[in-house]
Amino acid sequence: MRIAVLISGGVDSAVVVDTLFRQGHDLHLFYIRIGMDNGEGDCSAEEDIEMCSLIARKYGLPLKVVSLHEEYWNHVMAYTLRTVKEGLTPHPDMMCNKLIKFGFFEQRWGKDFDKTATGHYASIVEKDGKYFLATAADPVKDQTDFLAQISYDQLSHIMFPLGELPKAEVRSRAAEAKLPNASRKDSQGICFLGKIDYSDFIERHLGTKEGPVIEIETGKKIGTHKGYWFYTIGQRKGLGLSGGPWYVVKKNVRDNVIYVSNGFDTRRQYGREIPVEEMHWITESPFRDGSTCERIAFKTRHSPEFYDGTISIKKDGSCTVTSDSDIQGIAPGQFAIIYSPDRRLCLGSGMISVPATSRRHKKISTAHSKEALNDNGKI
């Protein structure tokens, strides 16, 4: 099989190369270069490209460095900054997968190959003649929540060779194959943000604006902050308040006010009703035979833990996820990732919306790049 392999310089994609090479496939390696590499940039790719070159030489494979810098900044980072400015919490990694890796790359280069392989920890299963995105064997490393906005067409052209491997096995295979990056640490930052601190990035683009921090129970000002866009619902760290823990429980975007509540057990940081808009189903909707409510498992952030609950659909297409248990830090702008009740299939995702009683901002569309993608997930 002729396969395009997206490599990053990390150990995961290198093990993908080793695995597929041993299976005898015709591999062509691609590194997507994204960032402002002009000395003032948000990402320096030189070290990654050097590592990718070592992998390519080890296996005698072609490596092509492709630039999607303009596309990334016009779509993913523009979405991120726009969402943050509206007081919401963005998910740039999810949009990078949807729009860049499996969007622009596929349209320009990946389409010429039988499949595109990546080092994501996820699986694909076939059921009743259809492909479904499925969770990885390693629950801690599972990345289906980062892939829950891809289209069915995109899913049908992807391979995830690490889906059935625990991370420890991947490291072991890398060492056995004597890969040059076998001991390289995993990247922990936002996709393609590199070593730039997220708060520094936000400050450089949106600046600062001092505002009050208010204890929500008393209405008392207990501190100041440097701009509501630096904070997200449920946030604890970085508040600079004594006598904690303090949690962000509400934001007033219009007046630049952050509301906090004190204590590990404060009920202000919990909820069970999650409004979801622009619900996206990868393969098919779980609503069958006219049903309007179904049992599901779900996540609201990257974590090995699932929650159980139901999802109901309204006539306007919006949905409500109702959790069986309390959820901490429900942050509008983030995504509710919907799974089958057995936690095996990732069915899709939708953006968590601001409750109608709290809305004071313009709607931010999760399809912020509808100008970039058509209904089939193609550019």
Active-site positions read 96, 191
Q: Is residue 32 helix, strand or coil?
A: strand
* Bond prior to 245 in cis (omega within 30° of 0): yes
The CA-atom distances, in angstroms, between 331 and each of 131, 155, 242, 263, 270 are: 31, 27, 24, 19, 11
Q: Which two tokens stand for residue 363?
A: 């709607």
Q: Is residue 219 helix, strand or coil?
A: coil
Burial 79-113 (b: 16+ CB within 10 A, else e): bbbebbbbbbbbbbbbbbbbbbbbbbbbeebbeeb
Q: Which two tokens stand for residue 128?
A: 């009743």
Q: Which two tokens stand for residue 249?
A: 């429980």
204 Rama sector, left if φ>0, alpha if ψ -120 to 50, beta otherwise: alpha
